[in-house]
Amino acid sequence: MLNCIYLLAITAEAMTGALAAGRRKFDMFGVLVIAFVTALGGGTVRDIFLGHFPVAWTQHPAYLYLVLCAGLLTMLIAPYLRHLQTIFLVLDAMGLMAFTLIGCNVALTMEYRVPVVMMAGLATGIVGGILRDVLCNRVPIVFRHEMYASVSLLTAGLFLLLRSAGVDTDLNTAMSFMAGLSLRLTAIWRGWRLPVFALAQRSNAGGKRGALHD
Amino acid sequence: MLNCIYLLAITAEAMTGALAAGRRKFDMFGVLVIAFVTALGGGTVRDIFLGHFPVAWTQHPAYLYLVLCAGLLTMLIAPYLRHLQTIFLVLDAMGLMAFTLIGCNVALTMEYRVPVVMMAGLATGIVGGILRDVLCNRVPIVFRHEMYASVSLLTAGLFLLLRSAGVDTDLNTAMSFMAGLSLRLTAIWRGWRLPVFALAQRSNAGGKRGALHD
Amino acid sequence: MLNCIYLLAITAEAMTGALAAGRRKFDMFGVLVIAFVTALGGGTVRDIFLGHFPVAWTQHPAYLYLVLCAGLLTMLIAPYLRHLQTIFLVLDAMGLMAFTLIGCNVALTMEYRVPVVMMAGLATGIVGGILRDVLCNRVPIVFRHEMYASVSLLTAGLFLLLRSAGVDTDLNTAMSFMAGLSLRLTAIWRGWRLPVFALAQRSNAGGKRGALHD
């Protein structure tokens, strides 16, 4: 079931990537590259920092084709997507949960410790969107909007907690998935955000000495 | 022969990196870092996602020195480069082809499947330029200008097609190289571009709920 | 001793990351992600391109907790940090040296050649800050301010030189550290910069053909 949701998820992610690329007026090819990076970039980065080779998508060309089709489709139906935004948000939320749980599982298979497992889940969930935003030259949206990355981490935490309590893996996956999904959808619906840490931009006293890091 | 072109290619790529850094008023050291990333970043990313360790340039310090010399040279002769733009474009196009074919060969040696081999060629060809643009805080040019990334992919596809048809590797390399180079130079000359996917920028209704991904 | 300085260093780096995120008005979670990337991103990238798995921080969850605490602390005490800028700069300079020397040691353990060892030291020293700036959508500061990356490289060079001269490792580490630190602090104090390579921005003759790379 998680696998099936995963396929929906990479489709949805590829479409958000293609839409972002369209806002930057990329050519067709650029759109497909961004779709690919958004959908499969998170898993790739996870596999790389866990040292989990070969990287997942290289063993499943079907993912690649799915992502390319989703990118092409997005260019065709973009004018109609406006009316589908709710569906999109739900698909994306489902994708975030599926990505997170799959990422945790990969790290667990490799016997990493708990904090690394959580980071693997989180990275799988959010890195694709971060790469998309970096390539489109904008500040990553996951750092500023409603609870998103934090839901991914909470889901990973719940999954590990239930696991250490001895809950059966399938049941655990289903429960963590539903809990995370509910939280994310509630956060969108009620506009829940984490507290923002806002400092003033630096004044443009550019030549200031030792202004090293800020 | 491909190796010789490869050396020309990393030199040309390093120079484009140095020029981009100069437009951002980087210091000498920053210029050399960008030259390095532009010339060798594509191969590095390819090696990493293929799990091909050690990474190529770490075994060939000569590449590193070549790139640094190219960066230094660029700073010296920048005022004259304006008159050499045609040579530059040809070198860069040759580089794109050489990078692509070398990338395909690395993936073939590791017995990856066809779509992964094509992605390896493409990544080797375009990722250096993408990293350069990200580090210079601008939208990657390969996503918007004349056919570039697409030529890389077509070249990789032709190479694999001829290979599966049993054409001798040297002949195949030469043919794919010339075909790709011709296409790229024609695209520059005639201004061929792929169709652009242009969506309106979002209105700045910033607080909109669920504006998750765009 | 280097290890102790390393802990100070990742704390200081995490704080500079959190401050940069605050200037972009990230939410709490985004601040912690940037703190993590700034403090541990350099070592991660080094481990990945050296093929040094498992990546260092995955084996030391304590680093992760330290970084998160530093990020949280920064949000609490940000208004007071203005008065601590001098301490910050010193900590950051110490961190740069510690990162560089640790990076060199990792590459030496793996028997890489001299130029790769220097690149490993440099990457460990500067990549965290570069990733921070890319994620905050700004031009990396290390490429433009007072001597920073270059001090990292000089320190790595001195360390390797003394090593090949047969100096005892502990003494060598201490000497390279002090020499690098002195140079960096002098550079801040006197405002030493490397020569800047400044080209004019391109005129916005956007449609120009073959304007491939710049």
Q: Å from B141 to nearest chain C CA?
A: 7
CA distance A5 to A7: 5
Interchain proximity C30–A199, CB inside 8 Å: no
* Residue in C with minimal Cα distance to A194: C27
Can you tell me the distance from the alpha carbon of B83 to that of B131, in angstroms, rounded to the nearest whole number?
A: 26
Nearest Cα residue to A147 out of A189, A199, A200, A117: A189
| Tokens read off for A162 | 């239930």
Rounded to whole angstroms, the Cα distance separating C51 from A142 reads: 30
For residue range B94-148, list pLDDT tens digits in order.
Answer: 889 999 999 999 999 999 999 999 999 999 999 999 999 999 999 998 887 778 8
CB neighbour list of residue C89: distance below 8 Å, 6 or more residues apart = A210, A212, C185, C188
CA distance B91 to B97: 10
Helix-strand-coil split of chain B, %, nearest 5 = 75, 0, 25
Task: Please give the C-alpha separations between residue C113 and each of B10, B65, B190, C39, C119, in angstroms, as whole numbers.
Answer: 21, 13, 46, 26, 10
Residues of C in contact with B73 (CB under 8 A): none
Residue A176, burial from CB neighbour count under 10 angstroms (0-12, 13-18, 19+)? buried
Return the domain boundaries, chain C: 2-190
The pLDDT-based confidence of A201 (bands split at 50, 70, 90) is low
Which chain C residues touch A if contact means CB-CB below 8 Å?
16, 18-31, 33-34, 44, 48, 53-55, 58, 61, 64-65, 75, 78, 85-86, 88-89, 92, 129, 134-137, 141, 145-146, 148, 188-189, 191
Q: What is the ipTM of this complex?
A: 0.89
pLDDT given at position B201: 66
Across the range C12-23, mean pLDDT stands at 91
Question: What integer pLDDT is reported at residue A200 of this predicted model?
Answer: 76
Percent of chain B predicted with pLDDT > 90: 65
- Total Cβ atoms within 10 A of residue A113: 13
Nearest CA to B126 out of B33, B2, B42 is that of B42
Nearest to B187 by CA among B150, B140, B139: B150
Question: Which pair of structure tokens corresponds to residue A186?
Answer: 């509630």
- Alpha-carbon span B133 to C166, nearest angstrom: 42
Cα separations (Å) of B202 from A101, A132, B199? Answer: 32, 16, 9
d(CA C123, CA C49): 10
Among the partner-chain residues C50, C194, C211, the one whose CB lies closest to the CB of B28 is C194
Least confident of B101-105, B186-190, C162-166, C170-174: B186-190
Q: Which chains touch B (3 or more CB pairs under 8 A)?
A: A, C
Q: What is the DSSP string of C66-131?
A: HHHHHHHHHHHHHHHHGGGHHHHHHHHHHHHHHHHHHHHHHHHHTT--HHHHHHHHHHHHHHHHHH
Cβ-contact A148, A126 below 8 angstroms: yes
CB B113 within 8 A of CB B149: no
Predicted pLDDT of residue B137: 93
Segments of chain B assigned E as strands? none
* Distance from the C149 Cα atom to the nearest Cα atom in chain B, whole angstroms: 7
B140 φ, ψ to 5°? -55, 130
Query: How far is the C-alpha of C29 from the C-alpha of A196, rounded, in Å?
Result: 9
Q: Phi and psi of C27, rounded to 5°? A: -80, 170
Top mean pLDDT of A27-36, A82-91, B194-203 is at A27-36
**CA distance linking residue C103 with residue C96, whole number of Å:** 11
d(CA A154, CA A146): 14
Task: Summarize pLDDT for A45-58 with one digit per residue, the tens.
Answer: 999 999 999 999 99
> Looking at residue B203, what is its pLDDT?
45
CB contacts of A138 in chain C (<8 Å) are: 137
Average per-residue pLDDT for chain A: 88
User: What are the respective helix, strand and coil percentages of chain C, to the nearest 5?
Assistant: 75, 0, 25
Both tokens of residue A111?
């016997």
Looking at residue B209, what is its pLDDT?
Answer: 40
Higher local confidence (pLDDT), A132 or B89 = A132
What tens digit of pLDDT does each residue of A57-94 get?
999 999 999 999 999 999 998 888 777 788 878 888 88
Burial bucket for residue C127 (CB in 10 Å: 0-12, 13-18, 19+): buried
> Out of C33, C78, C188, whose CB is closest to A143?
C33
Neighbouring-strand partners of residue C196: B27
pLDDT at C210: 41
Report which of A123, A198, A192, A140 is spatially closest to residue C74, judged by C-alpha positions: A198
pLDDT, one tens digit per residue, over C108-164 is 999 999 999 999 999 999 999 999 999 999 999 888 777 889 999 999 999 999 999
Contacts of A96 in chain C (CB under 8 A): none
Pair of tokens at residue C167: 């100096």
Closest to A40 (Cα-Cα) out of A98, A120, A104, A127: A127
Report residue B8's pLDDT band, with 50, 70 and 90 as the boundaries.
confident
Q: Which of A130, A127, A122 is nearest to A100 (CA)?
A: A122
CA dihedral over B91, B93, B94, B99, signed as positive or negative: positive
- Among C197, C204, C209, most B C-beta atoms within 10 A, so best to mutate, is C197
Confidence of residue A209 (pLDDT cuts 50, 70, 90): very low
Q: What is the pLDDT of residues C48-99, one digit of tens each?
A: 999 999 999 999 999 999 999 999 999 998 888 777 788 878 888 888 999 9
d(CA B196, CA B193): 8
Mean pLDDT value of segment B8-29:
90
Cβ-defined contact of C195 to B27 (cutoff 8 Å):
yes
At A94, list the tokens. Answer: 């489902």
Sign of CA dihedral C19, C136, A45, A60: positive
> Which two structure tokens, joined as six digits, stand for A46?
């996870």
Buried-exposed string B23-50: b where 16+ CB fall within 10 A, e elsewhere: bbbbbbbbbbbbbbbbbbbbbbbbbbbb
Q: Is A199 helix (H, G, I), strand (E, B) or coil?
A: coil
Q: Which of C49, C202, C212 sits opposite B55 (nearest CB)?
A: C49
Question: Could you give the dihedral angle defined by the CA atoms of residues B51, B53, B58 and B62, in that order, rounded to the nearest 10 degrees?
Answer: -90
Asked whether C66 and C49 are in contact (CB, 8 A), the reply is no
Instruction: Pick the most confident of A8-17, A85-94, B12-21, C38-47.
Output: C38-47
Select the residue from B112, B197, B204 to test the A interface by mutation, using most A Cβ atoms within 10 A.
Answer: B197
Give the residue numbers in C contacting B (CB under 8 Å), as ranges: 48-51, 112-116, 119, 126, 130, 134, 137-140, 142-144, 147, 149-150, 153, 193-202, 209-214
Rounded to whole angstroms, the Cα distance separating B69 from B63 reads 10
Residue B194 gets which letter from DSSP? P
